[in-house]
């Protein structure tokens, strides 16, 4: 595999990590009280308070946890790509 093919992964990994983190904002963690979304760190919280039918529920975002989640997924992605690169390099030598 040529180096420029692998360099595409280095650009796509942070984008895919952020998209994965955003997608997990729809996955609620079990618990009492406000609904918390995000895995492994809950970065989106929806307060469950009685409002009118068409009124949106108050939502808060913890951007620090969002960044940590995205960084975690990017590290996993980079680890996979680096491991694959190491395997290919080892096979060639």
pLDDT at position 61? 92
User: Mind listing the pLDDT tens digit for each residue in 6-57?
Assistant: 677 778 888 999 999 988 888 777 777 788 888 888 899 888 777 787 787 8
Buried b (16+ CB within 10 A) or exposed e, 42-72: bbbbeeeeeeeeeeeeeeeebeebbebbbeb
Residue 1 pLDDT more than 70? Answer: no
This prediction has a pTM of 0.76
Tell me the CA distances in angstroms from 47 to 12, 21, 77, 83, 93, one per residue in order.
34, 20, 33, 42, 57
- pLDDT category, 89, cuts 50, 70, 90? confident
pLDDT reported for residue 2 = 55
């Amino acid at each position: 595999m040529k180096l420029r093919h692998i360099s595409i992964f280095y650009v796509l990994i942070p984008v895919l990590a952020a998209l994965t983190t955003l997608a997990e904002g729809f996955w609620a963690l079990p618990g009492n009280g406000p609904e918390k979304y995000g895995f492994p760190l809950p970065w989106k919280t929806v307060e469950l308070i009685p409002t009118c039918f068409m009124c949106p529920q108050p939502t808060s975002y913890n951007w620090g946890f969002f960044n940590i989640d995205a960084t975690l997924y990017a590290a996993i992605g980079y680890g996979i790509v680096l491991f694959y690169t190491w395997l290919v390099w080892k096979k060639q030598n």
